[in-house]
Structure 1
């Protein structure tokens, strides 16, 4: 019998400290209007560690799924901001949760959570029963707090889902992912330094690569944009999301967006928006959910889920 998977639990966590646009305006040459017009962001959360935020989101996902630590046999943490070079931050998260299972970090930048979902799904197909898939970031740690082009964008947070085996069926309908290493220079962070970004080039490539990835995954799932009940894009910039939606024909009221309250949280943005949408009752049994992210590398990944089990 084939082994598919379904999302059975979800949760997210944000640090308590809020940095509003007004806070940035008070010390930088910028304005609330300028930030909102170019990004859609009004505030972002800052604080904690990647491991702390990941643990909090994971606990909520496990509780939602009705699972104990002993039920989990895989933990994948997508992050670009691990707490140390080694061991993997996932190892400490697993220890504090009481999970005694395979655990590792995965870095595909802002595409990381979707990459981790595909990886967990493949491992479930070959024997894993229940996986915790987490995206967590503390981007404030690698952001130049005096650079108005980046400090307005990035925030901290974590989101998590439980992906469980579903014998004889599969709620992961299709996926697409890839990278173009020739674009590594347009968004990067050296060890011990801060994020550097060519904003206009990132925007141009993000819209194109995301659209191509979404078109590929829709074709593989034999669906059209009209079949998507909820689109959960990486929350990088509202103008990028609106550009993608316009070309796809998906209205914003069928899109999960949190970045106005969180900023760009890289690998955490998709699972946080998905968990918040589920928490708010925006998803029903059988809904087709499209996840799509792009990030430094340049990486991209799209996944279509059928909600429920």
Structure 2
């Protein structure tokens, strides 16, 4: 979908502490061969911070940089996958109260690792449909800690990092114009992360979560070639559609922000698929963060902005996927190069 005069006005992130992967290997917490294949240097660890507070810490600089006051925010969306700090609770309202305030709708998105980009598309749609609303705040946060997750071993081809990210979408202007977005889904793949059967309470299958076994059983039945083909097709669909609507192609993109999955998966799913080099991506940054669920894309864009890696006229692709399965892509054009100090806690 092509967008007219829609912008990202501010971004922020919170990736607090580092757990160095070489030390995790030395201590027996991380397999040496997987470390070599995944290529991570370190993983972001939240420590005592709740997931919801990670989002608050990311949203505050995003708002300050956007030039929008809290009263301008007409919608708050929060994307997450896991526990946000309390049971039977609405984290989006907590985040809203501690950032923008006001009485705008505050809603939560459960779209797995695609939640941040899904929030971007939903926020743009809301602003487009509500002509009196000038801006929306989209946040993401997750904390993949024990006892529920063993971040180094619960899943394969990636290590899970804690963190929050945020973006303010605006009708007035911003440092990046949103040219186009696209979304796709293939719910026939949802079983890959569901496994066999349901339960009446969380974590009935034991802790920490063993996502590897769920995926292994699914792959044994369906076959890796079939799954890989469908996943690649979903990603290609959204990138092709968004680039077409933006009036550009792969060669016209200066930087790509993909999920912070392991290096082997980045190579197979993204670099090889689109024929691009690693230095056009944010992998060098992501290898020090880990896969932060829905937060990789806003976090990567924020990193590019804070480090002076963006120039007016650059076009940037944000793309990724989420369990379920769903895919999304956004094509941006940089209007002005931000001059921001790092926002990470």
TM-score range, shorter chain: 0.7 to 0.9
Partner residue in 2 for 1:97: 99
Q: Corresponding residue for 2:306?
A: 279
Q: Tell me the distance in 1 between the aligned counterparts of 2:161 and 2:307.
A: 22
Map residues 163-242 of structure 1 onto 2, 5 A cutoff: 163-166=169-172, 171-188=177-194, 191-192=202-203, 194=209, 196-197=211-212, 198=215, 201=224, 206-242=231-267
Query: Match of 2:119?
Result: 116
Rounded Cα–Cα distance in structure 1 between residues aligned with 2:271 and 2:263? 10
- Give 3-state SS (helix, strand or coil) of 2:65's partner: helix
Q: Could you say if the C-alpha distance between residues 148 and 99 of structure 1 is closer, same or farther in structure 2, counting changes exceeding 3 Å?
A: closer
The normalised TM-score by structure 2 is 0.79
Asked which structure has the greater CA Rg, the reply is 2
Structure 2 residue 296 is the aligned partner of structure 1 residue 293: no
- Cα gap change, 1:253 to 1:151, in 2 (>3 Å): closer
Q: Distance in 1 between matches of 2:232 and 2:42?
A: 24
**SS of residue matched to 1:171:** strand
CA contact (8 A) 1:3 1:166 kept: no
Which residues of structure 2 form unaligned runs of 5+? 337-345
| SS, match of residue 123 in structure 1 | helix
Deviation of residue 36 (structure 1)?
3.6
Q: TM-score, normalised by structure 1?
A: 0.88
For 2:124 and 2:311, the matched residues in 1 are separated by: 21
Give the CA deviation at 1:55.
Answer: 0.2
Pairs aligned (count): 304
Are the structure 2 counterparts of residues 17 and 261 from structure 1 closer, same or farther at C-alpha, using a change threshold of 3 Å? closer
Give, in angstroms, the shift of residue 217 of structure 1.
1.8
Q: CA distance change for structure 1 residues 86 and 122 in 2, over 3 Å: closer, same or farther?
A: farther
| Larger strand fraction of residues | 1
Q: Is the 8 A contact 1:174 1:220 kept in 2?
A: yes
CA distance in 1, matches of 2:42, 2:243: 33
2:4 and 2:249 map into 1 onto residues whose CA distance is: 26
> Deviation of residue 58 (structure 1)?
0.3
Give unmatched runs, 5+ long, in structure 1.
none
Q: Which residue is equivalent to 2:51?
A: 50
Query: Which position in structure 2 is the counterpart of 1:249?
Result: 275
* Offset of residue 143 of structure 1: 1.5
